[in-house]
Amino acid sequence: MAFVTANWNPLGDAFYRKIELYEMGWNLKDGLRDCLVAAAPYGGPIALLKAHNRRSPSARPQLEIFSSSGLPLASFPWKSGVVKQLGWTVSDDLLCVQEDGTVLVYDLLGGFKRHFSMGNEVSQSQVLETKIFHSPYGTGVAILTGALRFTLATNIDDIKLRRLPEVPDLQGAPSCWAVLTQDRQSKVLVANGSHLFVLDNTACTPVTPPGLSPQASSIVHMCVSFSYKYLALLTDSGLVWMGTSNLKFVLLLFSCRCRRPKSQQPSAVVMWDGLLLVVGECKETIQYHLDDDSILVPELDGVRIISGTHHELLQEVPGACEEIFKIASMAPGALLLEAHKEYEKESQKADEYLREIKEQSLLSEAVRQCVEAAGHEHEPETQKTLLRAASFGKCFLSNFPPEQFVSMCRDLRVLNAVRDYTVGIPLSLTQFKQMTIQVLIDRLVYRKLYPLAIEVCCYLKTPEYQGVSRVLKHWACYKVQQKEESDEVIAKAVSVKLADAAGISYSEIATKAYESGRTELAIKLLEFEPRSGEQVPLLLKMKKSPLALSKAIESGDTDLVYTVVMYLKNELNRGDFFMMLRNQPVALSLYKQFCKHQEQDTLKDLFNQDDDHEELGNFYVKASYKEQRLEARIAHLQSAVDEYYKAKKEFSAKTTEDEMRLLRFQRKLEEEKGEQLVGFSLHDTMTTLLSVGLHKHVEQLYKDFRVPDKRFWWLRLKALAEKEDWEELEKFSKSKKSPIGYLPFVEVCIKHHNKYEARKYVSKVTLEQKVKAHLAVGDVEGAAEAAIERRNESEIGTVLSRCAATTDHLLVERLNRAKATVAKK
Amino acid sequence: MAHTEWRDAPELPDFSLLKRLARDQLIFLLEQLPGKKDLFIDADLMSPLDRIANVTILKQHEVDKLYKVELKPIVSSSDQLCFLIRPRIQTVKWISDLVNADKVAGRFRRYKIIFTPQKFYACETVLEEQGVYGDVTTDEWNFYILPLDDDILSLELPEFFRDNFLEGDQRWVTTAGSALHLLQSVYGSFSKVYGIGRCAKMVYESWRELMEEGEQRTRQPEFAKVFLVDRDVDFVTPLCSQVVYEGLVDDLFRIKCGSVEFGPDVTSSDKSIKVMLNSQDKVFSEIRNEHFSNVFGFLSQKAKNLQTAYDKRRGMDIQQMKAFVSDELKGLKQEHRLLSLHIGASESMMKKKTKQDFQELLKTEHSLLEGFEIRECITYIEEHINRQVSMIDSLRLLCLLSITENGLLSKDYRSLKAQYLQSYGIKHLLTFANLRQLGLLEEQQAGETLTVMESKVGKLVNDKTVGKLTDAFSSLAKKSNFRALSKRLALVPKSGEEYDLRVPRDMAYVFSGAYIPLSCKLIEQVLERDGWTGLEEVTRMLNGQEFAVTGAPNPRNKTDAQRIVLVMFLGGCTFSEISALRFLGKERDTYYVKQIEYMVNIKLSI
């Protein structure tokens, strides 16, 4: 306890401390000398690649991956081209940038994932230097090519290559450069001698850092802080310049001699061969001697120093810790800690200390400080002491919210677990909060530490969906790749483990199985998938199309069926495709729907194959309406007729034949008489002909098309009335007994306001319709007469309603009487 | 409106929430394409969109010009085009053509397609096949439900019926399922789900799947029960002429998306007026459910009242006058305007509908429903066709005849069809084929021995007996069984009794007391029995596919919400059915909210 401050060094107002994280478990022969090293932030893995030996290019260097504690995770001989740079992505994948601009992606356990290229230009002019950077958009790669141009991809998962503008007067490689992320875009900061430029998508802008005289000297190193907020420059005259990364404010100018900086917060760490220098705002420095070749890994709240033997964290002492442990601190937290210590010793001093805090009513503050400080301490013992003190203090407080304490205990438990030597993720609390629990679980999963991940999930009570289920899914995905076990065993193991976990997507697991070449296993796994919609895409990929189709139909999701149908259409030859559809009516009707708009001809083929002659006939009839030319129309109709006959639809065939005849007839008349006729229905044709007085032709149509008498009479009647040819109408009415009765005659006359003519036909109307006829011509008396004669109650009623009570007084009476008599009967 | 006059009505859920959700999502999508853009909207989305976000809102989000999708080449100078469309292959093809044309012309624009309510793979395939997949961005606007009124929700999918029942394309099923899911997530889970019909079952399945996938939220539900019903369970109702005021307005002027355009003959001026028809309209809300014969009297009474209200100002002093002008006058003016419109509308209805023709049409329909004097009806239909009275009405009568009679006799079918084709052209050959596929208009199979025997018997005895025989035979076949159903459920009240339309006795009033809509009767029966027990015979005749599922457990206390029933018609419903359900709701102390695919009146298919 007393030694907590032993590794503290003051720098201005603050303290810095260097904590040993691990003694490295690796056994490196030459230390880190001549190695390409990449260590992932947030306590991620470390990749090592021995530098290429130019002299013996055939020698294959070993690529090794270690955990932060130096435990080997993977190791394999490097067989591809010359690697320029190693780097890690945000999701713990290793990027190896080769000389020709190809980037190879490996997972943390050395499994090859994929590769991509940084473009032709890069591969032609070769990679000179590379930087891998992280931004809110993911992991990016920036490359300086042999042609001294920069190419940049902001997110390697969605590669969009951007070629940045040229830097003026650049003769050789720039002395140093760095990638910045500002204003939602990535920029490159380049130093060429004493000139500094910012390159963004469109322009190259020269900049001058304030306070750094331009002619001073050339900038040899630059570094950007983890948060992209600060920038440090180092000139060849040994001047360190620190400022905000937008180059607007200067924080510090410091003169020294050094070679390699890494910058942090408002303080910079400068390292050269045997000396590490921390430079703060206040122009003071702390020096550490390094025994070994080391690399620096910037973190959110410090710098990790990795050497051949040790792994250390250098950070500013967090406020809470400083308050409590600073020598002779009188902060409430410090007093509480002291009080607890005395209490353990069973000394009454405990009370004195407590009283002191309580007098200032700072007890809750004290508890809070202890809890917070515990979070920032690495030693479990120290953590415990602090937490005990906090819990001791809590006893004297009522209403102190317990959440902070409880969650801190939980978090620390998790952190200590992952910091364990065997796991090797040295996360600080700040980093953990920034990274979130989900990401931590992912990291554990990447390392295949499934049991630990599940424990963590359960312990932190993460919702099953995001927690346990997810881990189990990853486990299953890994499980199915194990080649040595048989399909049955694996399928069973997976289903047993995953049985009661919610939200498991078996299709994803099956996909993995398929990718590792185990189709049979994949199908078995798919059987467990409850949502048939999820099964389909994979089944298609595995070329199990019939199964996919039936699953898609089962799912009831039409869209899915479409997906399969369209896939099959491109995959199979036409015959097979149609055959398959034939067995699946739903799919067939969907495809027909599609064809109707997209491929008329296919539709025809479909009907043809099914021998659906009736549909074919309909198809032709429809097609005929799209044709402008009469010949084409008739040709289509003829095909329709043939099809209808084949379908034994004589009726449709006959009607279609009639239509062809009609069309020809219309055409002929059109040519002869100049009347617009083609396309009219038979009825309309006759109406038109009648209106222009071509009675002979109408007669011909009447005979040819066996028009029913009734229709013919209606037609004539209407046409004559339309022309108000009353004489002809009368003649017509007498020509034969009317098949439609004579009431229509009356009505049609009334419609044309000719009561006189209408009356002529009233007498001819049948008895049943007499009343109506009389009423139609406005002859109420006649109607009354007829109604009474017919002794029909409802008819009398109708007439009554038409009588005006005042004028037809007598009539009303008579009707009422008649009604009464009828009713009596 | 039912619930103003009926005190005890349960509070309806606030459906404006749905509108707000849709609007926010649309705005979000529009913002995805920053900068000025021209917006192209599918014609049938125009009115629904107007209900969600009007032009001002669109303009606020940098929509420059609005165009209707007309499948023609476009004139637009904008560099950003946004298309808001239904996922139809035809429209997507048109867009691809546009993009390709621009490419040829060397013009660079940005295109964004927003599909609503969802994107279909087939549409993406079209984009891919036309080689423009990379040039356009696509998005989904999950706009499922448009609240048309306090108690009517609509999916606004006019093609639902055709796609689902005729083409056998079930792609809208998931849409309906998602709509239910949306309602559930906004208004809480339903305690019980009933349904009948194949499509209803599928909708329920897809909904259930969504429920299982998503998280369950328990909250006080605002609906108690859901009833899903397929349109093809009851084809008869939409085939009958409507005689309730709202139905008539629809028949004559077409109500589209809750509003109607009254032509010059109604407004008695030279321009048309667009009127929103919903419960906000005080005059309309009182007459919408009334039988037409009552409407005129009601309106004149209303006019008198209005006059008295106006007359009040005589004899007022200045102070009172001031109060009158500020408080009442505006309302009165508004009411006055609406009243004159509705009077105009009913006048023009009167003109059309009290004519001999309409009376006879109704008479024929009623005899078809009752199954009397079928011969006369056929003669009437024949005349109707011969005189070219109305293409659609004739077809409607034909279908009604076919359904009530279990298909037409071969002889009749052929002669009527031939007549129809002579009147309206051969293209209707396809119409007939479609109607046959739907089972709306069928020919009795001549080959069936039963029918042969039947027609032989038919010659010997009169029509009525034939009807009975047909019944006996048809229960053996899989036909529509309307007669038997009607008897079983007492759909057609006994004739001869006077039916007082002023004081409706049952739901039959919506068809002048001649027929209770089958769909509504089913709903009533099932809710009464809380399931399908006792209706086995009926469901057998309707081809089964019924289901009843208990959902979330009922909260202990019986709240208002427990009385609200959501009825979903898959394939549309008529205003008559809505009126009938409103009537039922009043009587049974439950409240019905209707969700419909689209208002159908009669559907024609070429």
Q: Is A399 helix (H, G, I), strand (E, B) or coil?
A: coil
Mean pLDDT calculated for residue range A464-486: 77
**Quick one: which of B205, B198, B125 has its CA closest to B168?**
B198
pLDDT at residue number B539: 80
Mean pLDDT calculated for residue range B413-433: 81
Report the Cα A126 to chain-centroid distance in Å: 36
Report the percent of chain B where pLDDT is more than 70.
82
- For residue B566, tell me if it sits in a domain: yes
Q: pTM for the whole thing?
A: 0.66
> Is B211 found in the same domain as B138?
no
Mutation site for A-interface testing, chosen from B120, B169, B412, B423 by largest number of A Cβ within 10 Å: B169
pLDDT at B7 over 80: no
pLDDT at residue number A136: 78
CB contact under 8 A, A708 and B129: no
- For residue B41, tell me if it sits in a domain: yes
CB contact under 8 A, A592 and B414: no
> Is B361 found in the same domain as B346?
no
B contacts of A711 (beta carbons < 8 Å): 386, 419, 422-423
User: Cβ(A516)–Cβ(A484) under 8 Å?
Assistant: no
Least confident of A765-779, B122-136, B353-367, B460-474: B460-474
pLDDT at residue number B475: 40
pLDDT at residue number A274: 47
CB contact under 8 A, B414 and A651: yes
Amino acid at A40: A
Report yes or no: B388 at the A interface, CB cutoff 8 Å: yes
Q: How confident is the model at residue B469 (pLDDT cuts 50, 70, 90)?
A: very low
- For residue B600, tell me if it sits in a domain: yes
Q: How confident is the model at residue A196 (pLDDT cuts 50, 70, 90)?
A: confident
pLDDT at residue number B592: 54
CB-nearest to B429 from A531, A652, A708 is A652
Q: Give per-residue pLDDT as tens, A250-270.
A: 555 554 443 344 444 445 555
What span, in angstroms and rounded, lies between the C-alpha atoms of A477 and A166? 46
Q: How confident is the model at residue A763 (pLDDT cuts 50, 70, 90)?
A: confident
pLDDT at B462 over 60: no
pLDDT at residue number B470: 42
CB contact under 8 A, B388 and A586: no
| Closest chain A CA to residue B357 | A747
Question: Within 10 Å of residue A767's Cβ, how many Cβ atoms?
Answer: 9
Asked which of B303, B337, B353 is the last residue of a domain, the reply is B353
Calculate the alpha carbon distances from B259 to A40, B55, B249, B275, B606 in Å. 64, 17, 10, 5, 27
User: Cβ(B561)–Cβ(B10) under 8 Å?
Assistant: yes
pLDDT at residue number A425: 86
Higher pLDDT among residues A283 and A522, named by residue: A522
Higher pLDDT among residues B265 and B8, named by residue: B265
Higher pLDDT among residues A338 and A821, named by residue: A338
B 156-215: CB under 8 A from A: 163, 167-171, 173-174, 202, 205-206, 209, 212-213
Asked which of B143, B173, B206 is the last residue of a domain, the reply is B143
- What DSSP element (H or E) covers A192? strand A185-192
Would you state the structure tokens that stand for residue B194, as one six-digit string? 């009933």
What span, in angstroms and rounded, lies between the C-alpha atoms of B98 and B72? 9
Q: Give per-residue pLDDT as tens, A366-388.
A: 888 888 888 888 888 888 888 88
- For residue B127, tell me if it sits in a domain: yes
Report yes or no: A592 at the B interface, CB cutoff 8 Å: yes
What span, in angstroms and rounded, lies between the C-alpha atoms of A423 and A420? 5
Residue range(s) defining the domain that contains residue B133 = 15-143
User: Cβ(B287)–Cβ(B245) under 8 Å?
Assistant: yes
pLDDT at A356 over 80: yes
Q: Which residues pair with B24 in a beta bridge?
A: none
Q: How confident is the model at residue B42 (pLDDT cuts 50, 70, 90)?
A: confident
Per 3-state DSSP, what percentage of chain B is helix, strand, and coil (rounded to 5)?
Answer: 55, 15, 35
Q: How far is B318 from chain A (nearest CA, A)?
A: 47
**Quick one: which of A459, A382, A452 has its CA closest to A420?**
A452
Higher pLDDT among residues A464 and B597, named by residue: A464
pLDDT at residue number A637: 85
Q: How far is A742 from chain B (nearest CA, A)?
A: 14
Q: How confident is the model at residue B453 (pLDDT cuts 50, 70, 90)?
A: very low
Mean pLDDT calculated for residue range A87-114: 86
In the DSSP assignment, the letter for residue B244 is: B
Q: How far is A682 from chain B (nearest CA, A)?
A: 5
Strands B110-115 and B136-140: parallel
Calculate the alpha carbon distances from A802 to A595, A742, A771, A808, A819 in Å. 61, 22, 12, 10, 15
pLDDT at residue number B472: 42
- What DSSP element (H or E) covers B274? strand B273-276
pLDDT at B476 over 70: no
What span, in angstroms and rounded, lies between the C-alpha atoms of B535 and B556? 29
Calculate the alpha carbon distances from A686 to A49, A673, A699 in Å. 95, 14, 9
A contacts of B121 (beta carbons < 8 Å): 559-560, 562-563, 566
What span, in angstroms and rounded, lies between the C-alpha atoms of A80 and A151? 22
Mean pLDDT calculated for residue range A609-631: 79
Maximal C-alpha separation, chain A: 137
Least confident of B13-22, B112-121, B587-596: B587-596
Q: How many residues does chain B have?
A: 606
CB-nearest to A590 from B169, B419, B433 is B169
> Is B385 found in the same domain as B414?
yes
pLDDT at residue number A806: 65
Report yes or no: A531 at the B interface, CB cutoff 8 Å: yes
Report yes or no: A170 at the B interface, CB cutoff 8 Å: no
> Is B265 found in the same domain as B329?
yes
pLDDT at A807 over 70: no
| Closest chain A CA to residue B129 | A598
Q: Give per-residue pLDDT as tens, A775-795.
A: 777 777 777 777 777 777 777
pLDDT at residue number A311: 85
> Is B337 found in the same domain as B379?
no
Q: Give per-residue pLDDT as tens, B560-580.
A: 556 678 888 887 778 888 888
DSSP codes of every residue in A284-312:
-EEEEE-SS-EEEEEETTEEEEEESSEEE
Side-chain-side CA neighbours of residue A246 (13 Å): 4
| Closest chain A CA to residue B214 | A503
Question: Within 10 Å of residue B436's Cβ, how many Cβ atoms?
Answer: 16
In the DSSP assignment, the letter for residue A229 is: S
Amino acid at A234: L
Mean pLDDT calculated for residue range A622-635: 80
Higher pLDDT among residues A778 and A704, named by residue: A704
CB contact under 8 A, A681 and B426: yes
CA angle centred on B493, ends B487 and B499, rounded to 5°: 175
pLDDT at residue number B219: 57
A contacts of B209 (beta carbons < 8 Å): 531, 556
- For residue B42, tell me if it sits in a domain: yes
CB contact under 8 A, B386 and A708: yes
- What DSSP element (H or E) covers B410? helix B410-424
> Is B581 found in the same domain as B538?
yes
Report yes or no: B293 at the A interface, CB cutoff 8 Å: no
Q: What are the residues whose beta carbons fall under 8 Å from the beta carbon of A331, sequence distance 6 or more? A: A323, A324, A366, A369
Report yes or no: B268 at the A interface, CB cutoff 8 Å: no
- For residue B248, tell me if it sits in a domain: no
- For residue B8, tell me if it sits in a domain: no
pLDDT at residue number B379: 83
Calculate the alpha carbon distances from A408 to A83, A318, A373 in Å. 43, 16, 10
Report yes or no: B89 at the A interface, CB cutoff 8 Å: yes
Would you state the structure tokens that stand for residue A561, as one six-digit string? 């069926």
pLDDT at B559 over 70: no
Is B260 buried (19+), middle (13-18) or exposed (0-12) by CB count in 10 A? buried
pLDDT at B606 over 80: no
Is A723 buried (19+), middle (13-18) or exposed (0-12) by CB count in 10 A? middle
pLDDT at B43 over 80: yes
- For residue B335, tell me if it sits in a domain: yes
Q: How far is B420 from chain A (nearest CA, A)?
A: 10
Q: Which residues pair with B593 in a beta bridge?
A: B566
CATH number at residue B268: 3.90.830
> Is B474 found in the same domain as B438?
yes
pLDDT at B605 over 50: no
CB contact under 8 A, B429 and A559: no
Q: How far is B414 from chain A (nearest CA, A)?
A: 8
Q: How confident is the model at residue A745 (pLDDT cuts 50, 70, 90)?
A: confident
> Is B183 found in the same domain as B282?
no
CB-nearest to A593 from B169, B425, B433 is B169
CATH number at residue B418: 1.25.40.850
Q: Give per-residue pLDDT as tens, B158-191.
A: 777 777 777 777 777 888 888 888 888 887 777 7
CB contact under 8 A, A597 and B89: yes
pLDDT at B207 over 80: yes
What span, in angstroms and rounded, lies between the C-alpha atoms of B457 and B455? 5
B contacts of A558 (beta carbons < 8 Å): 120, 169-171, 173-174
pLDDT at B556 over 50: no
> Is B167 found in the same domain as B53?
no
DSSP codes of every residue in B516-552:
--HHHHHHHHHHHHTSSTT-HHHHHHTT--EEEEE-S
| Closest chain B CA to residue A719 | B387
User: Cβ(A411)–Cβ(A417) under 8 Å?
Assistant: no
Q: How confident is the model at residue B459 (pLDDT cuts 50, 70, 90)?
A: very low
Higher pLDDT among residues A216 and A587, named by residue: A587
> Is B84 found in the same domain as B42?
yes
> Is B139 found in the same domain as B21?
yes
Higher pLDDT among residues A761 and B461, named by residue: A761
Total domain count, chain B: 4
Q: How far is A709 from chain B (nearest CA, A)?
A: 10
Mean pLDDT calculated for residue range A108-112: 83
> Is B137 found in the same domain as B19?
yes
Report the percent of chain A where pLDDT is more than 70.
89
Report the percent of chain B where pLDDT is more than 90.
0
Q: Give per-residue pLDDT as tens, B339-385.
A: 888 888 888 877 776 666 777 888 888 888 887 778 888 888 888 88
CATH number at residue B227: 3.40.50.1910
Q: What are the residues whose beta carbons fall under 8 Å from the beta carbon of A530, sequence distance 6 or more? A: B212
Phi-psi region for residue A228, left (φ > 0), alpha (ψ -120 to 50) or beta?
left
CB contact under 8 A, A740 and B383: yes
Q: Which residues pair with B154 in a beta bridge?
A: B146, B596
CB contact under 8 A, B388 and A705: no
- ipTM for this prediction: 0.71
What span, in angstroms and rounded, lies between the C-alpha atoms of A799 and A783? 7
pLDDT at residue number B2: 35
Amino acid at A272: W
Q: What is the overall mean pLDDT for chain A?
A: 78
CB contact under 8 A, A656 and B417: no
Q: What is the overall mean pLDDT for chain B?
A: 75
Q: How confident is the model at residue A68 (pLDDT cuts 50, 70, 90)?
A: confident
Asked which of B95, B128, B143 is the last residue of a domain, the reply is B143
